[in-house]
Amino acid sequence: MNKKVLLSAASLCMIMCACNQQAKQDNPFLAEFETPYGTPDFTSIRTEHYEPAILKGIEEQNNEVEQIANNAEDPTFENTIDALDNSGQILSRVSGVFFALTEANTNDTLAVLEEKFAPMLAEQSDHIYQNAKLFQRVKVLKEQTEKGTIQLSQEQSRLLDKIYKRFVRSGAALDEQAQSRLREINKELSTLSTTFGNHILNENNAFKLIISDKDDLEGLPEWVIAGAAEEAKAQGEDGKWIFTLQEPSRLPFLQYSAKRELREKLYLAYINRGNNGDSNDNKEIIHRIITLRLEKAKLLGFDCYSNYVLDQCMAKNEKTVMDFLDNLWNYSIQNAKNEASQLQAIMDREGKDETLQGWDWWYYAEKLRLEKYNLNEDEIKPYFSLENVQKGLFYVVNQLYGIQMKPIDDVTVYDPDVKTYRVENADGSMLGIFYCDYFPRAGKRGGAWMSNFREQKGSLRPLIYNVANFTKPAGDIPSLLTLDEVETMFHEFGHALHGLLAQCNYYGISGTNVARDFVELPSQIMEHWAMEPEVLKQYAKHYQTGEAIPDSLIQKIQNLSTFNQGFNTTELLAASLLDMYLHNIQSPDELGDDIMAFEKAKMDNLGLIPQIAPRYRVTYFNHIIGGYAAGYYSYLWAEVLDADAFEAFKEQGIFDQSTANAFRTNILERGDSDDPMTLYRTFRGAEPSIEPLLKNRGLK
């Protein structure tokens, strides 16, 4: 090589490195994080970095998209589909961190930025997927594969089909006027959705049930009282007790408090979030969202929004979903009515001449559990410290897949409560980095979820996190989990496994980028191991004595498996059906002017009993604002899959290696590389049966 050329190349390299370093110093998002695993460097990230990084990321991706669209070469998979899959690295890096924090550790400044970024990012997506030149290149490749003139791998074919459909579903085939209107709808929807979520967070943080009279703590176990005292102390109300709308605070109060009027106050505050006629009211927002979604669906050739969504799912259309939900409803509602009668009978025996209401259900269900099974949750909780439950979870994944979870301290985090692990295969090779953030805080929305700072692709390993709102430690009492919280930890780690074990070659089909009604299979199947006697013996140990949970308690837990399932299934089904009713409308007139009247009419027509509210009502149904619009049924749909799949493990032994390997290689590693039912049939050898679900829930 010519020395001058060599020197020029070296000089260019030095200049690029210097520029990269300067960019890194100016804004950590503008270059890869220089950390041991490429993890976000939270020590250098500041609030003022987000907006310039978002803007730079949009600019970078726009330039990349223009280069792909205007490429003079004929379209190939590599120069069009793969190039598009790889575009927007800065935007991906900054949005991964920003939206993780707006969900788990937000503040007023981030909330304002989120509302600002939402329409910008919606517009950016439209800029890409309504690009006529780029769509033409994708369309040519799609036609060539259909004619057989080019041959692609299964993954490549799947990604091409997915991207082609996204262009069509984003309006690439519409005329200019329709595209313009669609862009306006998408921008408005993004802003409304962000505002909706912020209102719910505000409502959660605003309500406090402050107790100053110790007599008002009647019935509450010591661990509940201690937690409320800690909450009061943290909020400057030392010597009092505070209960909030967060699940670890709300549910134990409803379950144990003997003060009916206080239970009512807490319950009504919870089910009326976003429905109080104040600055956080969501009625007009959700009405507008549903109306805009219908208009969007019609622009794209669908009769309703649910069919627009379901066209990309296993279910395919709203009729399939409605038939599925209606069938389950017929089983669940009768069970719920029977349970309500049993609870009313206990109230009648107390001689208070009171009628069972929604705020009574948890309280009297706990009494029924004690009466029927000689067991209350307070007896179980000492065996389920968070630390021991996590050890049990890690034991299960090690036995199934040889996975090792190694705590690390060289990864920076956004809050001291966040813990990090290096996840390894049995041979020591790295699978990814796992973050867990388990305790409530003011800046965290309710519920539990999984997401990532980075997707898996090829040899690039993912950065996965789980977030939850579990009971916090209080004084000398560690975090003690309810049975529901135990299952939630296992559930969310099932999603994490889906991301960590992915072995795909493209971002767009890796990990959890699958059909909405398939994504819950890996999470829900993990719940089954949590309460298996063989597993309980490994991790359920008393936090004070260290003794393993006795067989008598394990048997009681097993006996409880179908307890209160009429209630649990009915509230879940009611929310699933409400979601579908909202998105099945084919005219705005069907919605009417009053969204709450719409909800009531639908629930009354369904026959929902007044003691049960849908698990989520329209004004705080965050799932359908996010990715589960016309998709909340997915939890039950996937339960058919997970109940059937776990039967395969039980047939051979719950830690059978051949079954575990088949599930890993055909489900967990494959992402969206093939049709989900094809993946399932390859694992199971047949399509799933609904019978295991009905059996597990005691519905048949």
Closest alpha carbon to 375 in 248, 553, 221? 553
Contact, 657 vs 142, CB < 8 A?
no
Could you tell me how far CA 399 lies from the centroid of its own chain?
Answer: 26
Distance of alpha carbon 439 from alpha carbon 413, whole angstroms: 14
Q: How many CB atoms lie within 10 A of CB 538?
A: 15
Q: 521: which residues sit within 8 A by CB, 6+ positions away?
A: 638, 641, 642, 645, 667, 680
pLDDT of residue 474: 87
Q: Reply yes or no on whether the pLDDT at 396 is more than 80.
A: yes
- Return the DSSP state at 460: B
Segment (H or E) for 450: strand 449-454
Average pLDDT of span 142-156: 96
The percentage of residues in the chain with a pLDDT greater than 70, rounded to a whole number, is: 96
Q: Reply yes or no on whether the pLDDT at 18 is more than 50.
A: no
Distance of alpha carbon 699 from alpha carbon 329, whole angstroms: 10
Q: Reply yes or no on whether the pLDDT at 629 is more than 90.
A: yes
Q: Reply yes or no on whether the pLDDT at 497 is more than 90.
A: yes
Could you tell me how far CA 218 lies from the centroid of its own chain?
Answer: 36
Residue 557's SS3 state is helix
Contact, 365 vs 567, CB < 8 A?
yes
Distance of alpha carbon 395 from alpha carbon 393, whole angstroms: 5
647-656 contacts at long range (C-beta below 8 A, 24 or more positions apart): 647/692, 648/683, 648/684, 649/528, 654/528, 654/529, 654/532, 654/534, 654/535, 655/399, 655/400
Residue 211's SS3 state is strand
Q: 7: which residues sit within 8 A by CB, 6+ positions away?
A: none
Residue carrying the six token digits 């489900």: 667
pLDDT of residue 376: 81
Supply 508's token pair: 């767009």
pLDDT of residue 25: 62
Distance of alpha carbon 341 from alpha carbon 323, whole angstroms: 28
Average pLDDT of span 229-246: 96
Question: What pTM did the predictor assign?
Answer: 0.93
Closest alpha carbon to 699 in 557, 588, 561? 561
Residue carrying the six token digits 């970095």: 49
Any idea what the Cα angle at residue 662 is, between residues 657 and 666, rounded to 5°? Answer: 155
Sign of CA dihedral 152, 157, 159, 164: positive
Q: Per this entry, what is the length of the chain? A: 700
pLDDT of residue 495: 98
Domains and CATH numbers, the chain: 35-173 (1.20.1050.40), 207-271 (no CATH)
Q: Reply yes or no on whether the pLDDT at 132 is more than 50.
A: yes
Catalytic residue, chosen from 492, 520, 527, 639, is 492
Distance of alpha carbon 618 from alpha carbon 596, whole angstroms: 8
Cross-strand partners of 211? 241
Per residue in 280-307, pLDDT (tens digit) is 999 999 999 999 999 999 999 999 999 9
Q: How many CB atoms lie within 10 A of CB 23?
A: 15
Per residue in 442-485, pLDDT (tens digit) is 999 999 999 999 999 999 999 999 999 999 898 889 999 999 99
Q: Reply yes or no on whether the pLDDT at 635 is more than 60.
A: yes
Contact, 174 vs 299, CB < 8 A?
yes
Residue carrying the six token digits 């803007």: 55
Supply 550's token pair: 């006795």
Least confident of 13-27, 45-59, 128-142, 475-489: 13-27
Supply 157's token pair: 């074919």
Residue type, 213: D
Helical ranges in 311-360 per DSSP H: 318-349
Contact, 606 vs 354, CB < 8 A?
no
Distance of alpha carbon 287 from alpha carbon 361, whole angstroms: 30
Active site residue 492: yes
Q: Reply yes or no on whether the pLDDT at 163 is more than 80.
A: yes
306-312 contacts at long range (C-beta below 8 A, 24 or more positions apart): 306/580, 306/583, 306/584, 306/630, 308/169, 308/630, 309/516, 309/583, 309/629, 309/630, 309/631, 310/630, 311/169, 312/165, 312/169, 312/515, 312/516
Distance of alpha carbon 233 from alpha carbon 226, whole angstroms: 11
Per residue in 53-111, pLDDT (tens digit) is 999 999 999 999 999 999 999 999 999 999 999 999 999 999 999 999 999 999 999 99
Contact, 534 vs 540, CB < 8 A?
no
The percentage of residues in the chain with a pLDDT greater than 90, rounded to a whole number, is: 93
Torsions phi, psi of 548, nearest 5? -70, 150
* Phi-psi region at 686: left, alpha or beta (left = phi > 0; alpha = psi -120 to 50): beta
Supply 687's token pair: 């399509």
Helical ranges in 170-304 per DSSP H: 176-206, 222-234, 247-256, 260-271, 283-299
pLDDT of residue 1: 39
Q: 473: which residues sit within 8 A by CB, 6+ positions away?
A: 479
Segment (H or E) for 637: helix 634-652
Q: 82: which residues sit within 8 A by CB, 6+ positions away?
A: 506
Cross-strand partners of 407? 421
Distance of alpha carbon 95 from alpha carbon 125, whole angstroms: 13
Supply 318's token pair: 């709203």
Burial label, 166 (beta-carbon count in 10 A; 0-12, 13-18, 19+): middle
Per residue in 644-683, pLDDT (tens digit) is 999 999 999 999 999 999 999 999 999 999 999 999 999 9
Any idea what the Cα angle at residue 604 is, between residues 602 and 610, rounded to 5°? Answer: 125
Higher pLDDT, 144 or 3: 144
Q: What is the mean pLDDT of the chain?
A: 95
10 pLDDT band, cuts 50/70/90, is very low
Q: Reply yes or no on whether the pLDDT at 4 is more than 50.
A: no
